[in-house]
Structure 1
Amino acid sequence: MPGKLKKRSSKKRTMRALSLSKFKKLVVPRPDVLHGYLRHDEINLYLEYLQNRYSFVHVKLLGQTYERRQLKAIEIDWNSERNLELTERERSRRPYSCAEKITALVPPEISNMHNKLLGRRNTIFIEGGTHAREWITISVALNCIYQLTEKHMRNYELLRKLRFIIVPVTNPDGYEYTLTKNRRWRKNRRPITHSRHIGTDCNRNYDFHWENGPSKTARNTFKGLKPFSEPETRAMRNILQQNEQSLLFFLSLHSYAECIMYPWGYCKELPETWQKLEKLALTGRNAIKAYNGRHYRVGSIAKLSKRCISGSVVDYAFGVIKVPLALVMELPSHALGFQPAAESISPIGHESWFGIREMCKVAYDLATPFFSMEEGNLTNRKNSDKEQPQPQSPIIKKQSLHDVVRPTIDTVAL
């Protein structure tokens, strides 16, 4: 009998060891995103880790670069169907506390339906790493991802209202080149046709006043042979076009001028809604100043940079995609350079998130709900109908939003 017991226990141990080894293969390790500069593969590994862990996270493959690196975006959507189903299951398994009963009166799906009925834009788009040497922009983008996922309970109210799409590394080839060969490299790594030079400035390659940009292939700001000649800018164009109806706020991260800027970059004129844009930029500036005293300058791109910048992603997002709010955030600082020391990464990331979070909150209330062309035509038709007398028709009482939502709220409350 003792021999049989020993054999059984040894079999159980081996089975446990095998199951653990299989489980370990499925577990994706978590890289340290807050205190160091990661390689491109490590960043994609972190995005995969978050997708495996959280039901409201989805990683999208946008395309491939010239050197066949994957360009990825992370979508953080608390109101996604998958997450709502899982949270509803979790609610049904355990009894409500008093606090949960109050929040359950207006669950996330009702808030989401409210946004749809109003036609409100609710997507925040953040991109970093367009210029290869600006490592700190990638770290700040990763800090934003960290705050919205691993620290999502701190930002729950923000996630209930807003959906986030973040591209942490827009120029993977150039970024990897700066890590291994030349820390000062700015452009991507695709060779220029009929030239001995390599690379195009991705922030000059968008089809918005592109023809006004510099055309010398040797320059750091070379705009490319034609608009969207680069795989990185085509990938960005595609995801912006796919989400153009829901985009509320576009934020492009750069360094190291320590300012928050709004369009236009291609000329010194200001857009019609410049006051809204300035109010949003001042919100971020004031939040960071209150957090640690750092002072950001605020103004238009052309004014603060003292030059005209054609074919930029911010001008394209604002002028072509028609995102209501679009800003450039130039991170700190001249003293620290494009690649601040490791001990500065976390402080800069946290202070930047403090400003970005406040801008996202204000953006939701600042941009008025948009209406489709059909609704606009209907309004024009109504105005023209008012001018001409029409025969009387029976009065039809329209159902208010409160009446639409109230039955669902009552059901949840019970």
Structure 2
Amino acid sequence: MVETDLKDVFISGSVSKTTSMKSSKTVPDFRYQYLSHCDINTYLDTLQAKYPHLVKIKTIGYSFERRALKSIHISTSMMTKVNELEPVNKKAKSTLNGINRSKSALKRKQVVLIDGGMHAREWCTISTALHCASQLTDNFDENKNLLEIFDFVIVPCVNIDGYEFSRCYKKMWRKSRRPIEFSKFIGVDFNRNFSVGWETASQKTSSCTYRGEKPFSEPETRIIKRLMHSLKPTFYLTLHSFSKSIMFPYAFTSMLPYNWMSLHSLAKAAGQAIQKETGTKFRIGSVASIIKNAKASGGGSVDYAHKTAKIPFVIVMELSGGSFQPPAIAINGVLLESWIGIHAMCSFLKNRNKI
């Protein structure tokens, strides 16, 4: 933990009072309960207040119901040079010097894009995305080796409207909340609304996997599409639950991508790390090989990310936990387990000679 040492250093290159780091609102702990959309955004703002030269919060668009869709960008590129700062102790100075030595490589840094909450009822994926942000900031010293190579962009909750509806009214709701024209039904499955394989996904408006009237009919999927193309990430990770699987493209076809062996090795690195640390065994393979129904899985974000957005490393991680919404007492265990796998995948890519 380096929060105590660095929080005073990262404010405008000078020492600031601890009180300036505190949010005006106390945010519930996401490790032990599920946060509302409002609390999610407040937590993100709190991280930016703590680490203004490490964290930037962006409003990347708005949901159908006009909720702000936010991302957190975590990058050492935003840090002020060490000689412009006034470290409060030797430990802080040492840590910052370690970052400074890598500044020559900042222009070559690659991007890791992570999203959660694409399906409304999969609450724990949102908590996991927040946990990733926490690990990279509050536990900066333990993970700075990753931040020397990667910038991280995390979208904790893609399906904000559906998530709030699931929290407040119908726990098992999966889709968005946009009314479908000429239909009595509501909502589109975001993970069937991307263009690759879209034509094979469900056309039934009554289905919980309804694909939408056309690819990218939803503002939220268009936002993720724009992020993929603008960021050009090396690694796209989308979090789902709860089948204990680490999968790679494709979902819409049983055919494998050109670099499937590398993708399999990436997924295997996560699975082995998790099993070694926790004993939990995750299935590894392409989405189609594990789900066994490629025609029903078209229009997913992973296939678009790899085939059209040309992101070389793409993984969908289906969490453990035994349900879409593990009980509060089980949340932290799922988060710790998931981070082991995510850290292992990032380390795997970091250690490759060529990505």
Does the TM-score normalized on the shorter chain lie above 0.5?
yes
Distance 1:290 1:47, change over 3 A: same
Kindly provide the amino acid, as one letter, of the partner of residue 65 in structure 1.
S
Following superposition, the deviation at residue 101 of structure 1 comes to 10
**Of 103, 107, 116, which aligns to 1:109?**
103
- Is the CA contact (8 Å cut-off) linking 1:131 and 1:187 kept in structure 2? yes
Q: How does 1:15-34 map to 2 (within 5 A)?
A: 27-34=24-31
Distance 1:39 1:26, change over 3 A: closer
Following superposition, the deviation at residue 53 of structure 1 comes to 1.2
Alpha-carbon distance in 1 for matches of 2:98, 2:167: 49
Following superposition, the deviation at residue 213 of structure 1 comes to 1.3
- Is the CA contact (8 Å cut-off) linking 1:259 and 1:330 kept in structure 2? yes
Alpha-carbon distance in 1 for matches of 2:100, 2:184: 61
1:284 equivalent in structure 2: 270
2:48 equivalent in structure 1: 51
Matched, 1:230 2:226: no
Distance 1:104 1:179, change over 3 A: closer
Matched, 1:268 2:254: yes
Superimposed CA distance per residue, residues 39-86 of structure 1 (whole angstroms, 9 cap, x where no aligned partner)? 010000000111111021001111111111111110001122xx133x
Following superposition, the deviation at residue 27 of structure 1 comes to 3.6
Alpha-carbon distance in 1 for matches of 2:95, 2:179: 60
Matched, 1:61 2:59: yes
Matched, 1:322 2:313: no
- Is the CA contact (8 Å cut-off) linking 1:256 and 1:332 kept in structure 2? yes
- Is the CA contact (8 Å cut-off) linking 1:28 and 1:48 kept in structure 2? no
Alpha-carbon distance in 2 for matches of 1:188, 1:56: 32
Kindly provide the amino acid, as one letter, of the partner of residue 297 in structure 1.
R
**Of 89, 98, 105, which aligns to 2:84?**
89
Alpha-carbon distance in 1 for matches of 2:225, 2:77: 25
Return the index of the structure with the highest Cα Rg.
Answer: 1
Following superposition, the deviation at residue 89 of structure 1 comes to 2.1
Distance 1:102 1:215, change over 3 A: closer
Alpha-carbon distance in 2 for matches of 1:101, 1:142: 24
Identity %, equivalent residues: 38
Following superposition, the deviation at residue 26 of structure 1 comes to 6.8
2:120 equivalent in structure 1: 132
2:135 equivalent in structure 1: 147
Kindly provide the amino acid, as one letter, of the partner of residue 84 in structure 2.
R
- Is the CA contact (8 Å cut-off) linking 1:284 and 1:355 kept in structure 2? yes
TM normalised by structure 2 equals 0.88
Question: RMSD across aligned C-alpha pairs, in angstroms?
Answer: 2.4
Following superposition, the deviation at residue 366 of structure 1 comes to 3.4
Kindly provide the amino acid, as one letter, of the partner of residue 40 in structure 2.
I
More helix by share: 1
Gaps of 5+ in 2: 1-16
- Match of 2:141, SS? coil
1:165 equivalent in structure 2: 153
Alpha-carbon distance in 2 for matches of 1:269, 1:170: 28
- Match of 1:254, SS? strand
Which is worse superposed, 152-161 or 273-282? Answer: 152-161
Alpha-carbon distance in 1 for matches of 2:344, 2:21: 39
Following superposition, the deviation at residue 159 of structure 1 comes to 1.3
TM normalised by structure 1 equals 0.76
Superimposed CA distance per residue, residues 227-277 of structure 1 (whole angstroms, 9 cap, x where no aligned partner)? 110011011111111112xx1111111111111001110100111110000
Paired positions, count: 334
